[in-house]
Amino acid sequence: MPSFRNARRVRHSASDMFDLVADVEHYPEFVPLCESLRVRRRVASGDGVDILIADMTAAYRMFRETFTSQVTLDRPRLTIVVEYLDGPFSRLENRWNFKPLESGGCDVEFFISYEFRSRTLGLLMGAMFDAAFRRFAEAFEKRADEVYGRPNLARA
């Protein structure tokens, strides 16, 4: 099953990076392959954990696939977990962890594993998905600079 893991040290706070990744409605503006994203439902638990049900359409050239996920935003633990519900995959798992640093920046850990339901679709889109996932960290860091400005911290 294809998977991708990335760890990156950024100059923005763990809280800011959590907020940026949690702001899924803005993904079409900057996330590779994300053509559209709609939150169907949002439930706040009251203990700092929100659960979203969201539909995301990933598009590349003539390919366009929509899938539904449950997104758990756990602010106290600074983690985000995406669980696959419906669409072209047989399995999709995505996790984000944000670890604060004394410098004011943070370490961002990103993990995704997936398997397409259709072997043909997997062959056609697999390489493109892998390339896009490799650009994710850079896209989020660039977006953080746009939203929060460039921090004056020494590069962590």
pLDDT digits (tens, 9 = 90+) for 22-53: 999 999 999 988 999 999 999 998 899 999 99
Tell me the pLDDT band of 147, cut-offs 50, 70 and 90: very high
Mean pLDDT of 108-118: 86
**pTM beyond 0.95, yes or no:** no
**Structure-token match 């994203």, residue found:** 37
More confident site: 135 or 68: 68
CA–CA–CA angle 58, 17, 131 (5° rounding):
35
Extract the tokens encoding 40. 């169907």
| Beta sheet of 63-74, edge-to-edge order | 3-10, 106-116, 89-100, 79-86, 63-74, 49-60, 34-44
Residues 6+ apart with CB under 8 A from 31: 136, 139, 140
Average pLDDT over residues 63-78: 94
User: What is the mean pLDDT of the segment spanning 134-150?
Assistant: 87
> Which fold is adopted by the domain 3-148?
Alpha-D-Glucose-1,6-Bisphosphate; Chain A, domain 4 (3.30.530)
Where in the chain are the domains?
A: 3-148
Average pLDDT, the chain: 88
Each residue's pLDDT tens digit, 90-109: 888 999 999 999 989 999 99
Rounded distance, CA 33 to CA 63, Å?
A: 10
Instruction: Measure the CA–CA gap between 29 and 88, rounded to whole angstroms.
Output: 23
